[in-house]
């Protein structure tokens, strides 16, 4: 399983540890991932996702999971989130048609 945020696509980065003596040692900077349960207002159900702390702050800032997914680019979302985004768009379209 990749250490990848399902909402933003954040991956581990590589860099150097620098000691006081300026020795260089390769290291990885991993994203701060958490398994969270988010509520979809449109679908009325809970969704478990593995997201970074930064993505969780962004979801709250944008007004919830539905607003975040509708505004997000498709190329950074995971297949689970893409499916969820399509379901939300269908539910909103049927709600607007009724």
Encode pLDDT of 45-56 as tens digits.
999 999 999 999
Q: Is residue 5 part of a domain?
A: no
Residue 24 bridge partners (DSSP):
18
Q: Residue 72 domain-assigned?
A: yes
Domain with 44 in it: 13-97
Model confidence band, residue 97 (pLDDT cutoffs 50, 70, 90): confident
Sign, CA torsion 94/51/10/63: positive
pLDDT at 98 > cutoff 90: no
Q: Is residue 74 part of a domain?
A: yes
Give the whole-angstrom CA distance, residue 98 versus residue 77. 29
Domains: count for the chain: 1
User: 72: which DSSP letter?
Assistant: S
Tell me the three state secondary structure of residue 54: helix
pLDDT in tens, 7-30: 999 999 999 999 999 999 999 999
């Amino acid at each position: 399983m990749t250490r990848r945020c399902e909402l933003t696509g954040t991956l581990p980065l590589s860099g150097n540890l620098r000691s006081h003596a300026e020795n260089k040692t390769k290291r990885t900077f991993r994203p701060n991932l958490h398994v969270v349960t988010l509520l979809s207002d449109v679908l009325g159900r809970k969704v478990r996702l593995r997201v970074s702390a930064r993505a969780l702050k962004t979801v709250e800032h944008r007004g919830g999971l539905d607003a975040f997914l509708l505004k997000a680019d498709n190329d950074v979302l995971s297949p689970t989130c893409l499916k969820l985004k399509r379901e939300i768009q269908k539910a909103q379209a049927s709600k607007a048609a009724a």
